Amino acid sequence: MPASAKSDLPEGWVLSPMEDCTEILDHMRIPVNGEERRERHGPIPYYGATGQIGWIDDYLFDEELLLLGEDGAPFLDKSKPIAYVIKGKSWVNNHAHVLRAIQGLTSNRFLKFYLDVFDFGDFVTGTTRLKLNQGVMRTIPVVFPPIAEQERIVNKVERLLARVNAARERLARVPAILKRFRQSVLASACSGRLTADWRDGYCNLERAADTVERVLSKRRKKWEVTQTEKARTPGKISNRNRYKLKYKEPALPGLWDLPGLPDSWCWATIEQLASPEPRSIQSGPFGSNLLHSEFRDTGILAIGIDNVLDGEFSIGSQHRISKEKYRELSKYKAQPLDVLITVMATIGRCCVLPADVETAIITKHVYRITADRNLVDPYYLMLALRGDTEVWRQINSQIRGQTRPGINGQILKTLAIPTPPLYEQQEIVRRVSDLLNLADRIEVQVASATGHPDKLTQSILSKAFRGELVPTEAELARREGRDYEPASVLLERIKAEREAQEAKQGPKSRRASRKRLRKREDRTTKDESEHRVAISSVRQPTKPSPRANVQHSAQKSKPVSILELEPDEVMAAFRKACRGRGSLSREDLLREVAMVLGYQRTGSAVHERLKGHLRAAILRGIVEPNGDLVRPLTRTIDDYALDFLIDTVRSVMRSDQHYRREEAVRASAQHLGFSRINKQIDTTLRKAISTAIRRGDLVSDREEIWRI
């Protein structure tokens, strides 16, 4: 070791090669390929260079050990651990060095922390896959203090790293929290909850429904005047085209299945909210009108899917066309403040074109919507398309195509949008912008802080192995007026004791160890072979006797214990027992339920259990008490009140879990005793879920829902 390195050590510390402070057990490793491990799958963890990589049915070690990667470990990446401690039964392959700290000299935990901060740059070889061979690993210089100081260092490091890891875990959770926050902001904005306080101060504004009616009426009158003037102009309109004079009203929203809105809001279709100008709802050119070969690096921008991000227009990925081609396709020109939405493959991403956007056209997978600004703010329309749960239900229910799913212009025109008064729309846009900007700022701060725990870990470990994290043993000894054993003395003492012990026991060759391991392998293989033979002999097919068939049939039809039945199964039995019946006595109902469940006799255990389930059936609205009798309460899903269904959906969902809508529908239906889910049950429960989301009782990210 360099003399300068030894002189820089804290008082009482020593520098020693790895082979002097550990027992190296690499000779006991046995690699097992993946195919064999699949055949030998068992409860024992199987370790490689970077940690556990599988399971196996036998073990090589049964103790605490330190594993250090031989090849494939992240030797130069200090954000990841290099060594790790394992405990109990284990199997290690030949990609990890197996080390055992010499008892009384150091510990596996101390060496693990030391190796995690050690610079392996001069010790590993290779370029794409770094390797630390055993000969070099033996020479790794290890610094260690007296044993008592080591324990203090390990305890202090573990306490500090526990706090660092907790901070790292909290930081890792922030992106998901921000995602849910953004979704909740959009859902709240489009349901009226975000501006409920604002409406209280502006209660005299014109209702959105009145505004829509007034503007649409004004449109029609303007059209009629224009057509009348055209009719008076000789030769302006031919007789053959007079049928085109019939005014086409914009599509109306289908209100029968839409959730409720604040009083001043209304549902309006995109066709109603779009500008009356021609081609205000339009996609780009299809087919031979614009070929991929006509794109170029310079010229007029052609906006595609990659330019439309979620709430943001991006100039990043660019396709351009020549000026001549643009003149040919000028009717597809995108206007500033148009709302863009992707309608093919990646469906539903939308943004507003900036006011200063360069001249551009749209391509076939993007629709542009020019909003009538007397009715809707373009930025509010974008928010509704991005975040309103009901809008997304409408889109998802009408997607067409398997290989390239999409929606068409007719579907887009008829989408019903929750529409507040125009002034409230502008307030919603302002508030949403403030909240989303806050989320963006937090995201930037979290991104910049993400690397801090790794740096802090390295700082803690570096400080620990410079002797600066805890008082040294030498300092404490002087302060307490006592002697202590320096690490150098400890090292020499342990060496002498081990040499004396080895001389007393005699040498143990590696060949002998491997021989014992081979015997263990042979014994395991033999046991497995015998086990397979025994199983195969049991499985030899024999022709069953008629009596055996009868006994088997009886056993098969025997019901399971009442204690093993799921509550939802019993609820389904209550619903089946009540089918087509009027009022029953409680005893008769319980007897009927027992029969449905397969119990020919209702013993005391079954009777008491079913009495408890009867109370649950009453709470779930399946039956209701009628004096001393019980009668069916809800024969179909439509007999339930909407609020009851919403409470049911919430009750079956765990607060720490996300659900797909079909999962929530299935769980709710089974909770209410419906063993089969027909279209009526599915539609009614989905409507309850959509209403719960709009009220804020549930939160959705288009694909999943969860409780708040």
What 3 state SS string does 105-140 have?
CCCHHHHHHHHHHCCCCCCCECCCCCECCHHHHHCC
- Distances in whole angstroms, Cα of residue 555 to Cα of each of 340, 558, 559, 560: 65, 5, 9, 10
Closest CA to 168 of 453, 443, 446, 456: 453
Residue 658 pLDDT: 83
Mean pLDDT value across the chain: 85
What is the tens place of the pLDDT at every residue in 16-27? 999 999 999 999
Residue 1 pLDDT: 39
Q: Over range 105-117, report the average pLDDT.
A: 95
Q: Over range 587-600, report the average pLDDT.
A: 86
Residue 704 pLDDT: 83
Per the CB < 8 A criterion, the answer to whether 185 and 141 are in contact is no
Q: Range with the lowest mean pLDDT among 157-166, 202-211, 501-510? A: 501-510
Per the CB < 8 A criterion, the answer to whether 349 and 310 are in contact is yes
Q: Is 567 exposed, middle or buried (0-12, 13-18, 19+ CB in 10 A)?
A: middle
515 pLDDT exceeds 60?
A: no
623 pLDDT exceeds 70?
A: yes
Kindly state the percentage of the chain with pLDDT values over 70.
88
Q: Which amino acid is at 489?
A: V
Per the CB < 8 A criterion, the answer to whether 269 and 381 are in contact is no
What is the pLDDT confidence band of residue 550, given thresholds at 50, 70 and 90? Answer: very low
Q: Over range 546-553, report the average pLDDT.
A: 39
Q: Spell out the residues 6+ positions from residue 253 whose beta carbon is closer than 8 angstroms to its own.
A: 267, 268, 269, 414, 416
What is the pLDDT confidence band of residue 236, given thresholds at 50, 70 and 90? Answer: low
Per the CB < 8 A criterion, the answer to whether 12 and 143 are in contact is no
Residue 523 pLDDT: 44
Q: Is 586 exposed, middle or buried (0-12, 13-18, 19+ CB in 10 A)?
A: middle
What is the pLDDT confidence band of residue 531, given thresholds at 50, 70 and 90? Answer: very low
DSSP per position, 483-549: ----HHHHHHHHHHHHHHHHHHH----HHHHHHHHHHHHHHHHHHHHHHHHHHHHHT---PPPHHHH
Residue 568 pLDDT: 87
What is the pLDDT confidence band of residue 612, given thresholds at 50, 70 and 90? Answer: confident
Closest CA to 394 of 267, 286, 560: 267
655 pLDDT exceeds 80?
A: no
Closest CA to 353 of 319, 391, 307: 307
38 pLDDT exceeds 80?
A: yes
Q: What is the spatial distance between Cα 178 and Cα 407, in angstroms, rounded to a whole number?
A: 29
Q: What is the spatial distance between Cα 658 and Cα 643, in angstroms, rounded to a whole number?
A: 21
151 pLDDT exceeds 50?
A: yes
* Number of Cα atoms under 13 Å in the Cβ half of residue 467: 16
Q: What is the spatial distance between Cα 211 and Cα 374, in angstroms, rounded to a whole number?
A: 8
Residue 521 pLDDT: 45
Residue 238 pLDDT: 52
Q: What is the spatial distance between Cα 10 and Cα 234, in angstroms, rounded to a whole number?
A: 107
What is the tens place of the pLDDT at every residue in 367-388? 999 999 999 999 999 999 998 8
What is the tens place of the pLDDT at every residue in 559-589? 677 777 888 888 999 888 888 788 888 888 8
What is the tens place of the pLDDT at every residue in 305-356? 999 999 999 987 788 999 999 999 999 999 999 999 999 878 889 999 999 9
Residue 234 pLDDT: 61
Phi and psi at residue 11, in whole multiples of 5°? -60, 130
Looking at beta carbons, which pairs linking 244-250 to residues 24 or more positions away fall under 8 Å?
Answer: 247/220, 247/223, 249/216, 249/220, 250/216, 250/274, 250/413
Q: What is the spatial distance between Cα 586 and Cα 541, in angstroms, rounded to a whole number?
A: 49
Residue 504 pLDDT: 76
Residue 549 pLDDT: 42
Q: Flag whether the pTM goes above 0.85.
A: no
Positive or negative, the Cα torsion across 667, 672, 674, 677?
negative
What is the pLDDT confidence band of residue 273, given thresholds at 50, 70 and 90? Answer: very high
DSSP per position, 582-651: --EEHHHHHHHHHHHTT-SS--HHHHHHHHHHHHHHHHTTSEEEETTEEEES-SSGGGS-HHHHHHHHHH
Q: What is the spatial distance between Cα 519 and Cα 496, in angstroms, rounded to a whole number?
A: 34
Residue 558 pLDDT: 54
Closest CA to 584 of 634, 632, 622, 639: 632
Q: Which amino acid is at 394?
A: Q
Q: What is the spatial distance between Cα 226 and Cα 237, in angstroms, rounded to a whole number?
A: 12
What is the pLDDT confidence band of residue 99, given thresholds at 50, 70 and 90? Answer: very high
357: its two tokens: 């956007």
Phi and psi at residue 366, in whole multiples of 5°? -125, 135
Q: What is the spatial distance between Cα 24 and Cα 136, in angstroms, rounded to a whole number?
A: 13
Per the CB < 8 A criterion, the answer to whether 661 and 396 are in contact is no
Closest CA to 668 of 653, 679, 656, 680: 653
Q: Over range 403-422, report the average pLDDT.
A: 90
Sorted by where each starts, the structural domains of the chain and their CATH numbers stand as: 3-145+472-498 (3.90.220.20), 206-231+247-420 (3.90.220.20), 559-632 (1.10.10), 637-707 (1.10.10)
Q: What is the spatial distance between Cα 522 and Cα 672, in angstroms, rounded to a whole number?
A: 57
Q: Over range 609-626, report the average pLDDT.
A: 86
Q: 125 pairs with which residues across the strands?
A: 131
Per the CB < 8 A criterion, the answer to whether 361 and 303 are in contact is yes
Residue 266 pLDDT: 94
240 pLDDT exceeds 60?
A: no
513 pLDDT exceeds 50?
A: no
Q: What is the spatial distance between Cα 70 and Cα 138, in angstroms, rounded to a whole number?
A: 12
What is the tens place of the pLDDT at every residue in 422-468? 999 999 999 999 999 999 999 999 988 888 888 899 999 999 999 99
Closest CA to 264 of 181, 317, 202, 344: 202
309: its two tokens: 């991000």
